[in-house]
Amino acid sequence: MVGRKQGWSCPVTAIKPGKPAWAEATGAYVPGRDKPDLPTWKRNFRSALNRKDGLCLAEDRSKDPHDPHKIYEFVNSGVGDFSQPDTSPDTNGRGSSSDTQENILDELLGNMVLAPLPDPGPPSLAVAPEPCPQPLRSPSLDNPTPFPNLEPSENPLKRLLVLGEEWEFEVTAFYRGRQVFQQTISCPEGLRLVGSKVGDRTLPGWPIRLPDPGISLTDRGVMSYVRHVLSSLGGGLALRRAGQWLWAQRLGHCHTYWAVSEELLNSGHGPDGEVPKDKEGGVFDLGPFIVDLITFTEGSGRSPRYALWFCVGESWPQDQPWTKRLVMVKVVPTCLRALVEIARVGGASSLENTVDLHISNSHPLSLTSDQYKAYLQDLVEDMDFQGPGET
Q: Is the pLDDT of residue 382 over 80?
A: no
What integer pLDDT is reported at residue 197 of this predicted model? Answer: 72
**Does residue 4 or residue 176 have the better pLDDT?**
176
- pTM, full prediction: 0.60
The CA-based angle 200-201-202, given to 5 degrees, is 90
Q: Which CATH architecture has domain 14-76?
A: Orthogonal Bundle (1.10)
Whether domain 158-382 has CATH 2.60.200.10: the reply is yes
Q: Tell me what pLDDT residue 237 has.
A: 95
Q: Identify which of 354, 385, 238, 256 has the alpha carbon closest to the alpha carbon of residue 313.
A: 256
Q: What is the DSSP letter of 204?
A: S
Q: Could you tell me the pLDDT band of residue 345, with boundaries at 50, 70 and 90?
A: confident
* Domain regions of the chain by residue span: 14-76, 158-382
Q: Is pLDDT above 70 for 383? A: yes
Pick the residue with more confidence: 313 or 366? 313
pLDDT of 380 higher than 90? no
Which stretch of 58-67, 111-120, 234-243 has the lowest confidence by average pLDDT? 111-120
- Given a cut of 90, is residue 36 above it in pLDDT? no
Residue 244: phi and psi, rounded to 5, are -95, 5
pLDDT of residue 124 exceeding 70: no
C-alpha to C-alpha distance for 180 and 213, rounded to whole angstroms: 8
In the predicted structure, residue 109 carries a pLDDT above the cut 50: yes
Higher pLDDT, 387 or 381: 381
Q: Residue range 275-292: average pLDDT?
A: 94
The mean per-residue pLDDT over the stretch 226-245 comes to: 93
Looking at 34-48, 111-125, 193-207, 295-309, which range is the least confident one? 111-125
Q: Quick one: how far is CA 13 from the chain centroid?
A: 30
Q: Give the C-alpha separation, 346 to 367, whole Å.
A: 10
Interstrand relation of 69-74 and 134-136 (parallel, antiparallel or unpaired): unpaired
Residue 363: its pLDDT value, please? 65
What is the average pLDDT across 210-219? 94
- Average per-residue pLDDT in the chain? 73
Q: Which residue has the higher pLDDT, 114 or 194?
A: 194
Task: Please report the pLDDT score of residue 136 as a whole number.
Answer: 31
Residue range 196-212: average pLDDT?
83
Q: Which comes out higher in pLDDT, residue 94 or 360?
A: 360
Q: Residue 87's closest CA among 2, 5, 1, 3?
A: 5
DSSP 8-state code for residue 144: P
Q: Which residue(s) pair with 4 in the sheet?
A: 13
Among residues 210, 205, 249, 243, the alpha carbon closest in space to that of 327 is found at 210
66-105 exposure pattern, b = at least 16 Cβ within 10 A, e = fewer? eeeebbbbbbeeeeeeeeebeeeeeeeeeeebbeebeebb
Tell me the CA distances in angstroms from 5 to 48, 55, 113, one per residue in order. Answer: 22, 15, 28
Q: Are 355 and 363 in contact (CB under 8 A)?
A: no
Given a contact cutoff of 8 angstroms between Cβ atoms, the answer to whether 40 and 25 are in contact is: no
Give the pLDDT of residue 139.
33
φ and ψ of 341, to 5 deg: -65, -40
**What digits encode the pLDDT tens for the residues 146-192?**
333 444 357 888 888 877 778 999 999 999 999 999 999 988 889 99
Phi first, then psi: what are they for 385, rounded to 5°?
-95, 20
- Quick one: CA dihedral 341, 342, 346, 350, positive or negative? positive
Pairing of strands 327-333, 168-175: antiparallel
Strand 206-209 and strand 191-194: the pairing is parallel
Instruction: Check residues 135 and 44 and name the one with the higher pLDDT.
Output: 44
Residues 6+ positions from 27 with CB-CB distance below 8 Å: none
